[in-house]
Structure 1
Amino acid sequence: MSCRVASADQRLYGNLHHYVDQVLSYERQCVVNKAIDVLPWIELTKLAKENVAGAGLDPNSLIFWDFLMAEAVKWFKRSFFKWMTAPKCSQCGCDTSAIPLQLQPTQEELNYGASRIEGYRCTSCDHLERFPRYNSVEKLLGTCVGRCGEWANCFTFLCRVLQFNVSCRDEICMRFLLNTYQIQVRYVVDLLGDHVWTEYYSLHEKRWIHVDPCEEAIDRPLMYEAGWKKEITFICAFARDHVADVTMRYSSNHGAVINRRLKSSFESPRLYNFLWKTTQRLKACLMENQRKELDVQLACDLVNMMVERTPGQESMGGRTSGSMAWIMSRGEGDGQSGDVKFVFRPSARELACNKMHMKYNCRRDMYERTVGQEIIPGWRNGTYSSYGVFRKEERDWKKAYLARLEGRERGSISWLFEVSEDVTMKDVRIRFCGSRFEDGDISVTVTSGETQVKLNCDQDSGGDLTAIPELAGTKTFCIDCKLSGGVGDCAWQHAQLFRESTESDAEDVTPFEVIICFE
């Protein structure tokens, strides 16, 4: 056992040295030049200045850099880098599935830091596809694809050179900008939790700010613990002039972190010794005034992290990057996503009446089956599956509805209805009401075997029940709803389901209703 622990520690400290070298590689001028060619500096600068001015602030003040960072992460996620779940087959374009064995890297792959090569087999032509996990930012600037490791590595590097103007090709001018207007960035690693992201130092707020390019998240450090349900133990930040333990910024329960550290085989004193010695070595390259400024900055950061903060609603969502199956396999869901696998089946009383009548009341957040007066409390408890959706109650507007979690690009819900072999559905009618704002989109499909019917969403809850004659004679069907679109920070609110007043005492005309008659 002790040999295995020693081996694990050896690998972990090998990784720590690797992260230091990785961040130092960001300083290579030839790679910096390539990054300058990639970054849409003029566009990002223009958008940032417009947003600063729109907020009634001075575009020439230090807050400009915070707005610029916000634009940079939007561009990186939406336009530049792509997520890789599994590669498409390069021979026939079909899907591939992972094989359990790692492939041997070629010399070229090793030259670009890809010591780990994932293998995927085409489901159609059986072709073997390679997915090298590159660590070279030079290579990533060309491939523009990966998972969180590649995303954070490339994004941190691009932030490192973000201050360069595309017109500044003169090396002396570049060095002047490097020393004068540098955006300080750190590559942040959850050492025991398999995730990486970025921090940058805000000159305006005088503190380090969390940025996760995979999630397009800024200043939401508690999202991993509160939303992803991760146990935070050791998190380190790597910069070109220091390495720091930043664990406490990412937890709202410092006592639990300390208890986990005491139980961990990873020795805290040894880690602190590594951090201190590495920082002293990196600081040796700085001038005296720069070392003093860094010491003050790190001391202030320690004081800032000593305060336990309570996570807000913005931190409660689970992971959004990657497929749902991959997210759930890593245990990084939000607790409001996943498969409940509830199935609406007719009860003995409903069969005796040849009718099932289900209604969902969003104001009371419950399902009601009118034949037999059965109640199912909670919207999620009546779903077959759901992803990134929650129930919102607006106390100012006095409205309740279902919507996707804030920050989610998409959300989905499905409901499943099924009868036994000796029963057949004769008539199916559905009322499904959604409210769209701006560019919000709601897509509803009713599926039974090969049959698919698009369902229109009524804009108010007084819409008529829609007959689905295609379901006559079937034994099962599923209602699938997808939420997406919208504009700006409130995009998640621009596609709403089952919107109702929370004050109405009148007879309910429910926004979601299914009536099935049997024969």
Structure 2
Amino acid sequence: MATEQTAVRLLLSNPSSIFLDCSELLLRYAENIIRNPQEPKFRTIRLENQVVRSRLVPIPGALDCLKAMGFTQREEKLVLLPDTPLDDVIKIRDQITVERLKKLSPAQQNAQAAETSAQATSQPGGAAREPAASAVTEMSSVPAQTTPQSQVVQPSNNILASERQFYARLESSFQHVLLYEDPVLQAKARSLIPEEELRAKAQEKLKVLEELEKEETKTDNSPPPLTLEDLILPELRRWFKKDFFKWVDKAPCDGCGGRTTAAGMANPTPAEQMWQAGRVELYHCATCQRQTRFPRYNHPGKLLETRRGRCGEWANCFTLLCRSLGYEARHVVDWTDHCWTECYSTSQQRWLHLDGEKYYDKPLVYEAGWKKKLTYIIAYSKDEIRDVTWRYSCRHQEVCARRKECRESWLRETVTRMNEKRQAGLSQERKDELVRRFLVELVEFISPRRPGEKEMGGRTTGSVAWRLARGELGTQKDKSKAEPHVFRLSEQEKKGRLFHLVYCTANDKYTRLYNNVDMKVGWQNWAHTVQDVFRKEEHDWNMCYLARTEGATTGSVSWKLDLSGSGLCVQEIKVVARSQTFENGSISWQLCSGDKCILLNGDAEGTKTRDLEGVTSFTLTADLRGGRGDHAWQHAQLFRQALDRMEEFPLDIQVHLKPL
């Protein structure tokens, strides 16, 4: 059987007119199968059919493509068996689509784009959509820009009320992204970025990748190699989150810097309105009785100064920084209340997803991990507006069923008119490039993939209660139901008669110091049991720690060492555990072996004991209790540590051993 690459290359060897005619027929077969996977009639092609005999059989590569899809010949028929996976059908379909786009004229490409877009967004059954109220969002809303009337695309009079609201949001955001093109703002943004430092880190990673690529065998399916510009982006995102921008759950007190509680909303002052603050949150400090204002600024220039906010401010400011470094960037707005940035990779020939949480190029995390019920996701840049919902979903039919704020035909036509207006002054070369990119995107949209493991996690920013209320905690792993981890001695530890384990909360990593090649990221991964405990990062305070999950009255975590089969037993145990409690919160530590348990101090000075001398296994357990009020879960903090102190170990366990 011909490989898919060989089959498509053979098809491409035909004259363009023959290739286009034949490939159109092949795509029709593929689309029928993909859309109707259970329909037997689309899985059989009769070779005596006149169309097949004249347009497929004599064309080099045509039958090879069908066989590469999985068809097998049975007498005078080609058959795709019912249990044949559709992966190869989709691959051939996508490859042929891309090659067709290269051969079409710009006018034909636009026609193909419209047709493919309609296919990607069509709702099964063609059911009529009723108007729905526009979604109310958490993020700071984008106020309408003052725009010359000639630059605004006027919506048709024949639209629904909800579509007028929809159009207002599209137009407002489409005008807002022009702020990122201000050369003064870009210069200010560049002056704040440690570009040389980020470039140096990216260069180090590039060298590692280049060495690894030398050892790998290249195939036709191998992705293009990453470039330095690709690797700078995740470094920029990491620096932005860690060192530049601060996430705000509740604004700290302007007076004493203490914790506050929400106290309602206020109207923005004229000075706040100058920087496009659409609303102002109020917070009350119980310590000094001061009221703190938190304007939700929407002007990226102001955000370069305040450097704080939530996802709306994050994406707004970060997109400006990307533009200031010369990246083609989009501001992406999710109608179900989130936003982020996309940057175009010239080497990868696609748009990369960058989120303020911790996600780089993980577009399915919102649907698969956060469990969001997506509807509309719109990307805005200086040159175009695009409906990119389909990149962020692998459940297109479910999404289509929820898209009721406007008619799909109206949305496509409106976006097309807005793009034509915005691109009127562009060169034909630039217009053609934008169309080409869009067509490549459409191929991606109509080929949804499965989410990867790193796209299955829930949201990490915001309080647990806030994330729970929004349904964005995701599917939480229950460590208590997982296989408990048990430490066993390595050969080096046996020879040295020492087991030495340390844990750093800042980088969330364990290290076995007497066997320093053995490290593990993730505090749960080497725990024996975990009950209602999670790791918390407080970027406002630059601290991290383990605490009870919100709402839990108690929490616990334990570690276990088993010496059986080593010929050794415990001589002495030393435990150092740096923690902090507030109010009446408490943390208790105990060492247990069989029925014998010993209470430990569990402090920074450490506790040495020989009370378990001679045992061959033991468990170390920390119990977290107490606290007052809504933040009781935070009043017992295990392994509290500054986020930038990665050379320190708030947990240090040393077990000296002796022969049995």
Does residue 148 in structure 1 map to residue 311 in structure 2?
yes
Does residue 77 in structure 1 map to residue 241 in structure 2?
yes
Aligned to 1:346: none
* Structure 1 residue corresponding to 2:425, chosen from 260, 265, 285: 285
Aligned to 1:299: 439
Aligned to 1:44: 198
Aligned to 1:210: 353
Q: Deviations over 1:138-170 (max 9, x none)?
A: 11001100100000000011001114xxxxxxx
Aligned to 1:105: 268
Larger radius of gyration: 2
CA distance 1:21–1:443, shift in 2 (3 Å)? farther
Question: What secondary structure does 1:55 align onto?
Answer: helix
TM alignment of 1:263-278, pairs within 5 A:
264-278=404-418
Question: What secondary structure does 1:218 align onto?
Answer: coil
CA distance 1:254–1:443, shift in 2 (3 Å)? farther
Between the aligned partners of 2:419 and 2:537, the Cα distance in structure 1 is 38
Between the aligned partners of 1:453 and 1:295, the Cα distance in structure 2 is 61
Aligned to 2:598: 466
Letter in 1 for 2:207: A
Between the aligned partners of 2:253 and 2:641, the Cα distance in structure 1 is 30
Answer yes or no: is the 8 Å Cα contact 1:229–1:331 preserved in 2. yes
Aligned to 1:199: 342
Shift of 1:326: 1.8
Shift of 1:116: 1.0
CA distance 1:204–1:14, shift in 2 (3 Å)? same
Give the aligned CA root-mean-square deviation in angstroms: 4.3
Shift of 1:121: 1.9
Does residue 228 in structure 1 map to residue 370 in structure 2?
yes
Letter in 2 for 1:334: G
Compute the TM-score of the two structures, normalised by the length of structure 2: 0.52
Answer yes or no: is the 8 Å Cα contact 2:591–2:599 preserved in 1. no
CA distance 1:302–1:469, shift in 2 (3 Å)? closer
Shift of 1:468: 5.9
Letter in 2 for 1:312: G
CA distance 1:125–1:220, shift in 2 (3 Å)? same
Letter in 2 for 1:270: W
Between the aligned partners of 1:70 and 1:457, the Cα distance in structure 2 is 43
Does residue 23 in structure 1 map to residue 177 in structure 2?
yes
Shift of 1:128: 2.0
* Structure 1 residue corresponding to 2:586, chosen from 452, 456, 459: 452
Question: What secondary structure does 1:319 align onto?
Answer: coil
Does residue 128 in structure 1 map to residue 291 in structure 2?
yes
Answer yes or no: is the 8 Å Cα contact 1:444–1:454 preserved in 2. no
Between the aligned partners of 1:121 and 1:406, the Cα distance in structure 2 is 27
CA distance 1:432–1:53, shift in 2 (3 Å)? same
Question: What secondary structure does 2:210 align onto?
Answer: coil
CA distance 1:150–1:463, shift in 2 (3 Å)? farther
Answer yes or no: is the 8 Å Cα contact 1:486–1:495 preserved in 2. no
Shift of 1:405: 9.7
Shift of 1:124: 2.9
Shift of 1:47: 1.1
Shift of 1:283: 1.7
Q: Deviations over 1:485-513 (max 9, x none)?
A: 999xxx9xx999xxxxxxxxxxxxxxxxx
Compute the TM-score of the two structures, normalised by the length of structure 1: 0.65
Between the aligned partners of 1:35 and 1:466, the Cα distance in structure 2 is 57
CA distance 1:208–1:431, shift in 2 (3 Å)? closer
Letter in 2 for 1:478: R
Shift of 1:324: 1.7
Question: What secondary structure does 1:98 align onto?
Answer: strand
Aligned to 2:88: none
Aligned to 2:281: 118
Between the aligned partners of 2:462 and 2:553, the Cα distance in structure 1 is 29
Answer yes or no: is the 8 Å Cα contact 1:448–1:478 preserved in 2. no
Does residue 94 in structure 1 map to residue 258 in structure 2?
yes
Letter in 2 for 1:306: I
Answer yes or no: is the 8 Å Cα contact 1:363–1:400 preserved in 2. no
Unaligned runs of 5+ in 2: 1-129, 135-159, 214-224, 486-507, 509-519, 539-543, 562-575, 603-622, 627-635, 652-660
Between the aligned partners of 1:26 and 1:91, the Cα distance in structure 2 is 33
Unaligned runs of 5+ in 1: 164-182, 341-359, 366-388, 390-396, 419-429, 436-441, 471-475, 497-519
Shift of 1:216: 2.3
Between the aligned partners of 2:316 and 2:383, the Cα distance in structure 1 is 17
Q: Does 221-230 or 16-25 show the bigger shift?
A: 16-25
Shift of 1:115: 2.0
CA distance 1:76–1:445, shift in 2 (3 Å)? closer
Shift of 1:413: 6.2
Shift of 1:131: 0.7
Between the aligned partners of 2:428 and 2:313, the Cα distance in structure 1 is 35
Q: Which has the higher strand share?
A: 1
Shift of 1:19: 1.1
Aligned to 2:483: 363
* Structure 1 residue corresponding to 2:558, chosen from 398, 420, 432: 432
Does residue 260 in structure 1 map to residue 380 in structure 2?
no
Answer yes or no: is the 8 Å Cα contact 1:76–1:155 preserved in 2. yes
CA distance 1:76–1:449, shift in 2 (3 Å)? closer
Between the aligned partners of 1:444 and 1:407, the Cα distance in structure 2 is 16
Letter in 1 for 2:350: R
Aligned to 2:218: none
Does residue 238 in structure 1 map to residue 384 in structure 2?
no
Shift of 1:270: 2.6
Between the aligned partners of 1:463 and 1:362, the Cα distance in structure 2 is 25
Between the aligned partners of 1:405 and 1:285, the Cα distance in structure 2 is 53
Q: Deviations over 1:105-152 (max 9, x none)?
A: 111111111121111122233322111111111110011001000000
- Percent of counterpart pairs with the same letter? 33
Question: What secondary structure does 2:451 align onto?
Answer: coil
Aligned to 1:373: none
CA distance 1:432–1:445, shift in 2 (3 Å)? farther
Does residue 478 in structure 1 map to residue 612 in structure 2?
no
Between the aligned partners of 1:209 and 1:70, the Cα distance in structure 2 is 10
